[in-house]
Amino acid sequence: MENLDLSQFDEQEKPIDIKYYLIKYFRYWPLYLLCISIGLVFVFLFHRYTVERYEVKGSVMIKSNSSPEVRILDRSNIFSGGENLTNDILLFSSKNLASEALSNLHFDVSYFASTNIKEIELYKNSPIKVEVDWNYPQIVNKKIRINILSDSTFMLLSGENTFFDRFFTSYQYVEEERDIFNKVLDFGEEIIGEKAKFKIYLLDDLRQYDTYEFLLHNPASLVDRYANAIQVKPLINYGTVLEISTVTKIVEKGSDYINALMDAFLEYDLKEKNRISENALKFIEEQLYIVEDSLKSVEGRMQQFKVSNKMLDVNAEFGGVLNSIQALETNIQSIDFELAYYNTLKNYLITKTDSFEEIVAPSVVGIDDPLFNELVGSLVTISLERRKLLSLVNETHPDVNVLDQQINRLKENLFENIKNLIANTESRKQENQKKLNSFDKQFSNLPKAESDYTNILREFKLRENLYTYLLEKRAEAGIAKASNVPDNSIVDQAKRGTLIFPKKTQNYTYAIGLGFFLPLGFLVLFHYLNNRVMDQIQLKSLMRIPLLGTIGYSDKNTNLLVAEYPRSLASESFRSLRSALFYIASEKKCKRILVTSSISGEGKTYISLNLASAMALSGKKTCIMGLDLRKPKLAKYLGVSNKKGLSTYLVDKDSAADIIVETPYENLYVVPSGAVPPNPAELLLKDKMGKLLDHLEESFDIIIMDCPPVGLVSETMDLLRFSDVNLYIVRHDFTHKNHLLMINDLYANDQVRNFYAIFNGLKSGGDTYDFSGYNYGYGYNYSYMRKNSYGDGYYAEEKEHKASWLAKLLGKFKV
């Protein structure tokens, strides 16, 4: 029959076997399930004992200008300007605004439920309320326990900080004893002690527990903490709506603070706008006080003159002249008022260097010059921006320097404008004065009494008109102040909170993912770093010689498995190998089969014995030769004497017939190794070795040569010339991958022929990939368990290979 060349099948390049990797790693599903379960339990406990954190948000619209319905002083056209969005963002995170917001909230005391699970803050659900006198030193940032004894009495207690409290809670207990502790106290009573002065009130008689905890926060530290906890950003790009957010443990508490902060921001904006109206009212009040005194004086003189002269009146012919004189005097008074404003503003600009918010609006004094109004309005607006910016940064900040430069340029322009306005106003005053002098000459012709009365009346009318004018302006300024509303407005109040920690769905997903991928990654790394051959697919990828058969790991306590258990599944594995060998070198009348491996312990003798037994059971007269002259074990396994054997034959002590020993098993004969010689390699090179094989070939159908490892000794390479078929033994989870390099090199360089691999000791499950299907030749691959050991080393005693504890653990997982 034609020889079957199996190497052609293994030389073909094969694609990656996805099924191989799926089955290889899916068989560890109990490990994945265990790790996933541990991860889910850990996440559940983490959620159970972790204090949730929520994000609450509110939004404010920043308007560039305002337009109230009533703008009597027309200040919207004078002082309005674009708001700096960056400054508003900084203002929201300022400590001043945080202090204003906290002044309307009762955040200086936190209340907690006394539990062993996690820190639970009660906020408005607390049955007690603590009023603190912050003018007195207090015990801050440490929790104090309160035990409610009745509806009218309670007791303060210290606490004990456990390991959990020290590392997993925000605040610790007051551990040291205080003079206010362990005393029966009354609700509403003022408690005074060392670093303590406060009152406690009972708000809810239907309380759930009798023991609670409270904590006092230092107001300054509280302001710092809440100012730093605020995040402000534009809601959309290029928009003027700001989103204000913070992270809190209590949604209601965080919402209250955000809303209070937005209210404080609007209140701050309104105060800044009211400062202008307040300055105008102050100026008008000062002028009214002066005019009112002069008006009362003139009114008294006029009444006295009327009494003395019996209500003397001016003739009708001089009435028109009198009216003209009164109009001119009113104009001159207004001009003097303007000049006083210009000079006052000029002196104010000279004395003031950085703050100009107190400048009275020109429209208040009746000055309607557009350029002058625009310059004053710009100066006040920039000064307000500078003041707002200084509440957030220092004076050396670049933005402050930019505003200072703008203020200096505006002051220069204002000085020049005031100089021109004063000159023009003086000119107008001189013209009106000339006209007034002309009309005064006409009054000189009146009788003295009429002339005196007219002068008094003129002065009274002048003071009266001015007083009425100032009263109107005061009313207008008051109405303007009352009509002021913030330019900005709240878009959305903070109400609901979004859970940001812990992210429960995400954490459970991570637990499942990590529970699966961590062990998977560990297994992949373990298999990658594992330098031993673990399965058939791996062996085929590492070796260039074809795989002829697979022998399972047996649990039978014998090395003559086929002979003693011929009907076992293990025996079928060797029968499969026997069938495959029938098709190799089939033209040979007597087939010589050489068995070797890389190193000791891979099962050469075990394979040789059981393969010989399988051949003998099939009716083939079989002889197994012990060519391992360094560590002979064949005679011991078969229970025959090793005194005579191959070594004694090669040194001419015994004949060929003397060393052929019949075993208790039918058709099975053995040539023992004999006594251990000092030069085994040289003995096997003798011509008598070839003659012995020729002699055995005449009497036997199968000759199996149990040889030393090809990777350890040299004589095996010399014996290859006598064999027809060579079997190379690879042991599962024992043979190192690098041990296969030598046989691959020999095969690639055509230094060996008819070499076939046998995969020995394959374990069921674990790291193996067991097809339980066809291999080359006839029959099936059977995986079964056995316990077997193969001799020790050749040059030094070697310990029996034992699987690591990790490999044993992984071997427990199988489908």
The per-residue pLDDT for range 553-570, each reduced to its tens digit, is: 888 888 888 988 888 777
Q: Which of 72-81, 120-129, 136-145, 421-430 has the lowest mean pLDDT?
A: 72-81
At 707, the amino acid letter reads C
**What are 99-124's pLDDT values in tens digits?**
999 999 999 999 998 887 788 899 98
Q: Ramachandran region of residue 162, left (φ > 0), alpha (ψ -120 to 50) or beta?
A: beta
Cα separation, 613 vs 667, whole angstroms: 8
Considering the domain architecture, whether residues 407 and 343 belong to the same structural domain is answered as: yes
Cα separation, 783 vs 772, whole angstroms: 7
Considering the domain architecture, whether residues 229 and 292 belong to the same structural domain is answered as: no
504-529 helix and 18-26 helix, angle to the nearest 10 degrees = 110
Determine contact, residues 483/68, Cβ cutoff 8 Å: yes
Considering the domain architecture, whether residues 301 and 224 belong to the same structural domain is answered as: no
Q: Of 248, 283, 303, which closes a domain?
A: 248
Considering the domain architecture, whether residues 675 and 788 belong to the same structural domain is answered as: yes
What pLDDT sits at residue 771? 39
Measure the CA angle with vertex 512, ends 509 and 515; round to 5°: 140
Total number of domains constituting the chain: 3
Tell me the CATH number at 691: 3.40.50.300
Query: Looking at the DSSP assignment, which residues form a beta bridge with residue 121?
Result: 112
What pLDDT sits at residue 308? 62
What pLDDT sits at residue 79? 39
How far, CA to CA in Å, does 369 sit from each of 481, 512, 687?
A: 23, 76, 133
Residue 507 lies in a domain: no
Determine contact, residues 139/178, Cβ cutoff 8 Å: yes
Residue 363 lies in a domain: yes
Query: Looking at the DSSP assignment, which residues form a beta bridge with residue 552?
Result: 762
Cα separation, 98 vs 223, whole angstroms: 6
Cα separation, 273 vs 266, whole angstroms: 11
How far, CA to CA in Å, does 327 sit from each of 293, 356, 495?
A: 22, 35, 63
Q: Of 210, 229, 248, which closes a domain?
A: 248
Q: Which position has the higher pLDDT, 481 or 101?
A: 101
Measure the CA angle with vertex 84, ends 80 and 85; round to 5°: 125
Considering the domain architecture, whether residues 452 and 587 belong to the same structural domain is answered as: no
Residue 4 lies in a domain: no
Determine contact, residues 428/335, Cβ cutoff 8 Å: yes
Query: In sequence order, which residues have a C-beta less than 8 Å from that of residue 361 and are 6 or more positions away?
Result: 73, 75, 78, 79, 276, 280, 373, 376, 377
Query: In sequence order, which residues have a C-beta less than 8 Å from that of residue 738 and are 6 or more positions away?
Result: 531
3-class secondary structure per residue, 22-50 = HHHHHCCHHHHHHHHHHHHHHHHHHHHHC
Best CA proximity match to 39, nearest among 51, 47, 50, 27: 47
Q: Which of 8-17, 283-292, 764-773 has the lowest mean pLDDT?
A: 764-773
3-class secondary structure per residue, 342-411 = HHHHHHHHHHCCCCCCCCCCHHHHCCCCHHHHHHHHHHHHHHHHHHHHHCCCCCCCHHHHHHHHHHHHHH
Please tell me whether residue 12 adopts helix, strand or coil conformation: coil
pTM above 0.85, yes or no: no
Residue 496 lies in a domain: no
What pLDDT sits at residue 380? 80
The mean pLDDT of the chain is 81
Determine contact, residues 126/111, Cβ cutoff 8 Å: yes
- Stretch 472-479: mean pLDDT, rounded? 78
Alpha-helical regions (H) of 491-568: 504-529, 536-542, 561-564
Query: In sequence order, which residues have a C-beta less than 8 Å from that of residue 648 and are 6 or more positions away?
Result: 654, 659, 674, 675
Q: Which position has the higher pLDDT, 568 or 28?
A: 28
What pLDDT sits at residue 803? 56
Percent of the chain surpassing pLDDT 70: 83
DSSP string, 96-113: HHHHHHHTTS--SEEEEE
Torsion angle of C-alpha atoms 538, 543, 548, 549, degrees rounded to 10: -30
Residue 25 lies in a domain: no
Displacement of CA 639 from its chain's centroid (Å) = 71
Determine contact, residues 780/577, Cβ cutoff 8 Å: no
Considering the domain architecture, whether residues 281 and 233 belong to the same structural domain is answered as: no
Say yes or no to pLDDT of 522 above 50.
Answer: yes
Alpha-helical regions (H) of 229-364: 251-309, 319-351
| Backbone phi and psi for residue 805, each to the nearest 5 degrees, phi listed first | -60, -30
The sheet with strand 196-202 has its strands ordered as 128-132, 196-202, 190-193
278-306 core/surface letters (b: 16 or more CB in 10 A; e: else)? ebbbebbeebbeebeeebeebeeebeebe
- Stretch 380-394: mean pLDDT, rounded? 78
Best CA proximity match to 574, nearest among 543, 552, 556, 559: 552
Provide the token pair at 383: 């000064």
Considering the domain architecture, whether residues 765 and 658 belong to the same structural domain is answered as: yes
Q: Ramachandran region of residue 652, left (φ > 0), alpha (ψ -120 to 50) or beta?
A: left
How far, CA to CA in Å, does 35 sit from each of 16, 21, 520, 814?
A: 29, 20, 10, 16
Considering the domain architecture, whether residues 330 and 210 belong to the same structural domain is answered as: no
Provide the token pair at 788: 């077997």
Would you give the DSSP letter of residue 123? G
Q: Which position has the higher pLDDT, 272 or 134?
A: 134
Cα separation, 722 vs 691, whole angstroms: 11
Determine contact, residues 728/596, Cβ cutoff 8 Å: yes
Residue 392 lies in a domain: yes
Displacement of CA 227 from its chain's centroid (Å) = 23
Cα separation, 555 vs 557, whole angstroms: 6
Cα separation, 520 vs 790, whole angstroms: 34
Q: Which of 61-75, 410-424, 515-529 has the lowest mean pLDDT?
A: 61-75
The residue ranges of DSSP E strands in 133-260, in sequence order, are: 142-148, 153-157, 172-173, 184-186, 190-193, 196-202, 211-216, 231-234, 241-248
Cα separation, 183 vs 181, whole angstroms: 6
Percent of the chain surpassing pLDDT 90: 38
Alpha-helical regions (H) of 618-759: 634-638, 646-650, 656-659, 680-684, 687-699, 715-719, 740-748
Q: Which position has the higher pLDDT, 208 or 311?
A: 208
The β-bridge relationship of strands 702-706 and 622-626 is parallel
- Please, what is the end-to-end C-alpha distance for the chain in angstroms? 42
Residue 39 lies in a domain: no
**What are 218-254's pLDDT values in tens digits?**
999 999 999 999 999 998 877 889 999 999 999 999 9
Say yes or no to pLDDT of 324 above 90.
Answer: no
By CB neighbour count within 10 A (0-12 exposed, 13-18 middle, 19+ buried), where does 554 fall?
Answer: buried
Provide the token pair at 233: 């950003």
Best CA proximity match to 524, nearest among 17, 169, 24: 24
- Stretch 384-389: mean pLDDT, rounded? 78
Q: Which of 109-113, 274-278, 543-547 has the lowest mean pLDDT?
A: 274-278
**Confidence label for 789 from pLDDT (cuts 50, 70 and 90):** very low
**Confidence label for 310 from pLDDT (cuts 50, 70 and 90):** very low
**Confidence label for 616 from pLDDT (cuts 50, 70 and 90):** very high
| Backbone phi and psi for residue 601, each to the nearest 5 degrees, phi listed first | 95, 5
Would you give the DSSP letter of residue 181? T
Provide the token pair at 21: 């990797």
Considering the domain architecture, whether residues 279 and 243 belong to the same structural domain is answered as: no
Residue 658 lies in a domain: yes
Query: Looking at the DSSP assignment, which residues form a beta bridge with residue 129?
Result: 201
Say yes or no to pLDDT of 615 above 90.
Answer: yes
Determine contact, residues 711/599, Cβ cutoff 8 Å: yes
Mean pLDDT comparison of 86-90, 724-728, 748-752, 809-813, highest-scoring range? 724-728
Q: Of 487, 522, 557, which closes a domain?
A: 487
What pLDDT sits at residue 316? 46
Considering the domain architecture, whether residues 481 and 543 belong to the same structural domain is answered as: no
Say yes or no to pLDDT of 790 above 70.
Answer: no
Determine contact, residues 164/115, Cβ cutoff 8 Å: no
Tokens 């402050």 belong to: 400
Determine contact, residues 449/312, Cβ cutoff 8 Å: yes
Q: Which position has the higher pLDDT, 744 or 377?
A: 744
Best CA proximity match to 169, nearest among 117, 205, 217: 117
Cα separation, 246 vs 257, whole angstroms: 9
Provide the token pair at 581: 């060998």
Say yes or no to pLDDT of 524 above 80.
Answer: yes
Q: Which position has the higher pLDDT, 793 or 733?
A: 733
Considering the domain architecture, whether residues 798 and 696 belong to the same structural domain is answered as: yes
Domain boundaries, position 141: 76-248
Cα separation, 298 vs 75, whole angstroms: 35
- Stretch 138-145: mean pLDDT, rounded? 92
- Residue 418 CB coordination number (10 Å): 19
What pLDDT sits at residue 100? 93
Q: Which of 445-449, 473-477, 564-568 has the lowest mean pLDDT?
A: 445-449
Considering the domain architecture, whether residues 433 and 540 belong to the same structural domain is answered as: no
**What are 645-682's pLDDT values in tens digits?**
999 999 999 999 999 999 999 999 999 999 999 888 88
What pLDDT sits at residue 119? 83
Q: Which of 218-232, 263-277, 783-797 has the lowest mean pLDDT?
A: 783-797
What pLDDT sits at residue 597? 92
